[in-house]
Structure 1
Amino acid sequence: MENTETLIKELAARREERLSSRRSAMMLGGAALAGLALSRVANAQSTTIGDPDILNFALNLEYLEAQFYTLATAGVTIDKYSTPVSVTGGGGTAGSVTLKPNFAPVQFSTTVLQDYANETAMEERNHVSFLSTALGASAVAMPNIDLYNSFNALAMAAGLGSSFDPFANETNFLLGAFIFEDVGVTAYNGAAPLLSSKTYLQAAAGILAVEAYHAGSIRTRIYAAGTAAQSASQKIAAARASLSAAAVTPAPSMPDDIGVGMEASGAATIVDADSNAITFSRSTAQVLSIVYGGSKPGVFFPGGLNGTIK
C-alpha cells in the first residue's frame, strides 16, 4: 500500500492531465499573446538563490499591488500616503510610478466595494512594510512601475480592446485587481518550497492566505457583476495562462488559470484551482513572464524587477 507522501507526489504529477472540462474555455484568446513571450524568462542572474532573494522577489510584487490599490482608493502613491510607506528598501533609490495623464482614483459608488478596496490597500502596504523590515538592509527599493501603458498592452493582447483603464469605474477596478491577485497567490505557492527557513515559510504562508482572501473576494464580485465582467475575466485568465505556458519548456498542454464564470454543471468557477482543488503554483519564470508581458522586462515593470531574481 502506497504511503501518503508517495500518493501526494503521484497526484501532483497527474493533476495537469486530470483538469476538468471547465478549463477549456481559458484557451480563448490565449494565442494572441504568443508573440509577447518568445523565450523563457531566466529565473535569476545568479545560480545561487537564497531566502532573501525569494523574499525580495515577493517584495517587488507587493510594491506593485500596494501602489495599485492605494492609488485606486486614495489617489496617491504609498510613499505619499497619510501614513507613508518607504519605497527605498534598505536604502536604495526608488523608481517611479507611471500613470495616465490626468489620473484620478476610482469613483466608488458601492460602499461595500470601497470598504473592501480600502482594506486591501492597507494590507498590501502592510505586506511591503513587513517584508522590508524582515529583509532589513537587504531589502530592494521599488523598481519603476507602469500602471498605464501596461494595462493598455495587456488589454490589446487579451482581446479587450486597444486600451483599458482600471481606475475608470468599479468594474474596471475589479478586473485590474483580478490580474494581480491570482498571480500573487500562484507566486507565493510556487515560492514556498524554495524557502529554507521555517520562519520565512510560515510568514510566506500567512501572506499567501491573505492574497487568497483578496483573490476570492475579487472573483466573487466579478461573478456577481454579470456575464460581461465574467467574459473579460476569462480573456484575462487566458492571457495569463498563455504567458505562463510560454515560460515553460516544453509548454504545458493545459492552462494553469481559470476565469470567473460557470461550468456546464451549474457550478461557479470562483475558485482558481486544478481538478484536485489545489491552487496553481507558478515558478519565478512564469510569474515574470506574466508581469513582463513576455520574456523581457516590460508591461508592469518596464525596467525589470530589483534584486537577484529578475
Structure 2
Amino acid sequence: MKNNELQNLDEPKETSFANKTLGRRSFLQFAGASAAGVALLAAGCSKDRGDLSMPTMGGATLDFKDDFGVLNYAYALEQLEAAFYIKVASALPSAFTTQQKAYFQDIQFHELAHREFFKNALGTAAIGSLEVDFSSIDFTSASSVLAASMAFEDLGVAAYNGAGVRIKTDAYLTLAGKIVSVEARHAAYIRDQISNGSFADLGTLSALGSDNANALDGALTPDKVLAIAGKYIKTKINVINL
C-alpha cells in the first residue's frame, strides 16, 4: 500500500460510513449517551489535572500521568482496530462464508462504537486521528485477514488488562472491563475460525503474558503494546510519564 493510500481516520467518506452503519445498529446513540457520563467525570477531574493540552512533540502524545493518558491510549488502539475492520468490510475476502462476512461486519460496528465512545468522552482532551499502514496485510486473503484480526484482538485484550492497574477512577475501570470482555469475545470467535475449538486456547498466548495453568489472559504494559502495534501505525506516538 502506498503512503498516499493510507487511510486518515477522519476522512469524510469514512465518517459518513460510520454514521450510517452505527445509526442502523444504534451504536452511536449508545456511545453518545454513555460518553456523556464519562465526560462529566472527566470535566471534574480536569480541575486537578490543569491544562489538558498535550506537549507539542509532533505526532500524538500519550501522557500517562493520569486517567486521561489511559483513555487516550485506549482511544488510539480503538482507532487502529476500527480502521482495520473498515478495510476488511470494504474488501471481504471472497473465501469468507456469508456468516463470516456478517460476523466481521458486526465486529466492525463494535470497534467503531468503541472508537466513537472514547472520542466523544474525551472531547478536547482526545488525541488526533492516527494514520495507519496496513500494507503488510492482504485484505483479499481470508487467511491473512484472520491472522491479522487474531493479532489485533489478542493484543487488545492484553492491552486493556495491562492498563487496568493504571486507572484511578472506578467508572473508567468499569468501562474498561466492559470493553475488554467484548474484545475477548472477538478474539475467541476469530481463533475458532482459524482452528475450530481453539477459542479458549491460552497456551499460544504466552508472548502476551497469558497464564495457561491458572486460566488467566495476558496483560501487557502500554510500552510493550505500542511496540507491537507500531507496525501498523504511521503516526508517531510519544509516550511520557509512563
TM-score range, shorter chain: 0.5 to 0.7
CA distance in 2, matches of 1:306, 1:142: 14
2:69 to 53, 76, 81: 53
User: Which position in structure 2 is the counterpart of 1:256?
Assistant: 207
Tell me which residue corresponds to 2:144. 172
Q: Which runs of 5+ in 2 are unaligned?
A: 1-60
- How high is the TM-score relative to the length of structure 2? 0.66
Q: Residues 190 and 284 of structure 1 are in contact (CA less than 8 Å); yes or no, is this contact kept in structure 2?
A: yes
For 1:203 and 1:257, the matched residues in 2 are separated by 22
Q: Partner residue of 1:68?
A: 84
Rate the CA distance shift 1:59–1:130 in 2: closer, same or farther, 3 A. same
TM-score, with structure 1 as normaliser: 0.52
Compared with structure 1, are the counterparts of its residues 136 and 71 closer, same or farther at alpha carbon in structure 2 (3 Å cutoff)? Answer: same
Match runs of 1:280-299 below 5 Å? 280-292=218-230, 299=231
Alignment coverage as a number of residue pairs: 178
- After TM superposition, give the deviation of residue 218 of structure 1 in Å: 0.5
Note closer, same or farther for the CA distance 1:225–1:71 as it changes in structure 2 (3 Å cut). farther
Does residue 214 of structure 1 match 2:217?
A: no
Cα distance change of structure 1 residues 56 and 309 upon mapping to structure 2, 3 Å threshold:
farther
* Unaligned segments of structure 1, at least 5 residues: 1-43, 76-103, 152-163, 227-233, 242-254, 259-271, 293-298
Q: Computing the radius of gyration over CA atoms, which structure comes out larger, 1 or 2?
A: 1
Distance across 2 between alignment mates of 1:218 and 1:201 = 26
Counterpart of 1:303?
235
Contact kept? 1:143, 1:305, Cα under 8 Å = no
Give a deviation string over 1:25-77, Cα, whole Å, max 9, x none. Answer: xxxxxxxxxxxxxxxxxxx876x62111111011111111001111111x2xx
Q: CA deviation at 1:200?
A: 0.5
2:153 to 181, 188, 205: 181
Aligned-partner Cα distance in 2 for 1:45–1:132: 14
Letter in 1 for 2:207: D
* Contact persistence 2:133–2:234 (CA under 8 A): yes
CA distance in 2, matches of 1:282, 1:60: 16
Query: 2:163 is matched with which residue?
Result: 191
1:187–1:283 contact (8 Å) kept in structure 2: yes
- Amino-acid identity (%): 30
How far has the Cα of 1:212 moved from its partner? Answer: 0.3
Q: Contact 2:62–2:72 at 8 Å: present in 1 too?
A: no
Distance 2:211 2:146 in 1: 20
Q: Distance in 2 between matches of 1:45 and 1:291?
A: 15
Q: RMSD between aligned alpha carbons?
A: 2.7
Q: Is the 8 A contact 2:208 2:220 kept in 1?
A: no
> What CA distance in whole angstroms lies between the structure 1 residues aligned with 2:78 and 2:239?
14
Whichever structure has more helix as a proportion of its residues is: 2
Q: Provide Cα deviations, 1:217-238, integer angstroms capped at 9, x if missing partner.
A: 0011111399xxxxxxx9xx6x
Query: 3-state SS of the aligned residue for 1:256?
Result: helix
TM superposition shift of 1:257: 4.1
